[in-house]
Amino acid sequence: YGSTIVGWYFALNLTTGEELWARNHTHMVGGDTSYVEAHAGVVVAGSQGQQGGGNKATIGIDASNGDKLWEYTLDNQRVWNVMPMFPDDDTTVFMDLSGGVYRLGLHNGSVIWAHPGRLSFSDGGLVLGPDGDIYTCSNPLWRIGLEGTGGVLRKFALADGRKMWESPLPYPCNSWPAVSNDGSTVVVVPGSFNDNPPTLRALQLGLVDAEDAEEFHRMIMNQGLAQRSKIGLPDLRAAIMTFDTTTGAELLRHDVVPWGEVASAGDEEGLMVRMKYHSNRVICLPAHWSSPTIDSSGAVYVGRTDGRLYRFTSTGEASYVTGAGPLHSGATFAPGMMAYTDCDSLYVYHM
């Protein structure tokens, strides 16, 4: 199942790629990403896309034929990278861009409970623990994910949406949590947003013209990890952290080396080529981290804006250079292998 930016939702045969149905239910599906999920015969996704990004509503669609079953419009809020999850066969839960949480009837869109967030922004979302309770990664009031501000990890009760605990984070939270298989630990990866590539920003502001862009780009590349300090900006800090799911107490914190480039790895490096050959989408502009994934041994895999895929354990870190920033999906596993996508490639590893 999928959606398009112009408001079409569709289903394909996974084996043949044949289109099963395609229906237009809204004028636009907003960015950054409206993840399309399906469960118990219902497709749930973002709807009523807004200029500047995000969606004003979520929609439920009959998975068999594409008919619209319901549409829920948020009150003075938007969902951003909405990723609906399903605690059972009858309900769905999701998070708005300010960390608010909602539980709706899966088959009719009825509101079981809704606790909207207030006046903040995060790229992140929620996950369900083995006990069915909800964990969210977002930012506190008036914060929008930038360097020098913090984030917040929260746990909510599935039954009524009651906040069970809240733990402040040293850096913004713009990703998703991950909960260990035994339900005892929640992992979160706070880290600040990066920015547009300097060459693109200079072109947009008229500081350089097209003829001088290549030379300006080479100058930026030669600055390497000193890019941010050269213009008086702090490096981007980030960490991987674990918390007790019962109490919200911090268990472990591992800070990584701050990132000194202005943009995510790969965005400035490949900008001139993309501007020449792929002018409709010249940058990726990912969040600082992908979603973390926990394997059966307890190791955490997560991609970072520095163009590396990390493996963290209680004893340290290892990393593999991909050269491009992460996508939210992070790593996924199948028997004997792991797959990981970044802004420009798919990697498959033997495990």
User: Can you give the CATH number for the domain in which 9 is found?
Assistant: 2.40.128.630
Is the confidence at residue 201, as pLDDT, over 90?
yes
Does 7 reside within a domain? yes
Neighbour tally for 174: CB within 10 Å: 30
pLDDT of residue 314: 86
DSSP secondary structure, 170-232, as one string: SS---S--EE-TTSSEEEE--B------HHHHHHHTTSS-GGGHHHHHHHHHHHGGGHHHHTT
Token look-up 């008919």 returns: 67
pLDDT tens-digit series, residues 273-330: 999 998 888 999 999 999 999 999 999 999 999 999 999 998 889 999 999 999 999 9
**Alpha-carbon distance 196 to 201, whole Å?**
6
Residue 72: what residue type? Y
* Residue 281: inside a domain: no
Q: What is the pLDDT of residue 347?
A: 96
Whether 272 shows a pLDDT value over 90: the answer reads: yes
Contacts of 19 (CB under 8 A, 6+ apart): 10, 11, 12, 13
Whether 10 is covered by a domain: the verdict is yes
Judge contact between 243 and 185, C-beta under 8 A: yes
Question: What is the mean pLDDT of the segment spanning 79-84?
Answer: 96
Non-local (6+) Cβ contacts of 279 within 8 A are none
Question: What is the overall mean pLDDT for the chain?
Answer: 97
Phi/psi at 59 (5° precision): -130, 145
Per-residue confidence band for 268, with pLDDT thresholds at 50, 70 and 90:
very high
Closest of 102, 37, 109, 52 to residue 75, by C-alpha: 102
The pLDDT score that the predictor gives to residue 192 is: 98
Examine the pLDDT at 128 and tell me if it is beyond 90.
Answer: yes
3-class DSSP state for residue 271? helix
Quick one: tokens of 180? 């260990």
Q: d(Cα 345, Cα 169) in Å, to the nearest integer?
A: 31
- In the chain, the percentage of residues whose pLDDT exceeds 70 is 100
Range of the domain at 95: 1-116
Query: Do the domain assignments include residue 233?
Result: no
Q: Is residue 140 part of a domain?
A: no
* Rounded CA separation 37/106 (Å): 12
Check if the beta carbon of residue 152 is closer than 8 Å to that of residue 173. yes
Residue 295 lies in a domain: no
What pLDDT does 278 receive? Answer: 85
Q: Is residue 84 part of a domain?
A: yes
pLDDT digits (tens, 9 = 90+) for 145-194: 999 999 999 999 999 999 999 999 999 999 999 999 999 999 999 999 99
The fraction of the chain above a pLDDT of 90, given in percent, is 96
Q: Residue 250 half-sphere exposure, CB side, CA atoms within 13 Å?
A: 13
88 belongs to a structural domain: yes
How many domains, in total, are found in the chain? 1
Q: Exposed, middle or buried: residue 348 (CB in 10 Å: 0-12, 13-18, 19+)? A: exposed
SS3 1: coil
Rounded to whole angstroms, the Cα distance separating 214 from 235 reads 25
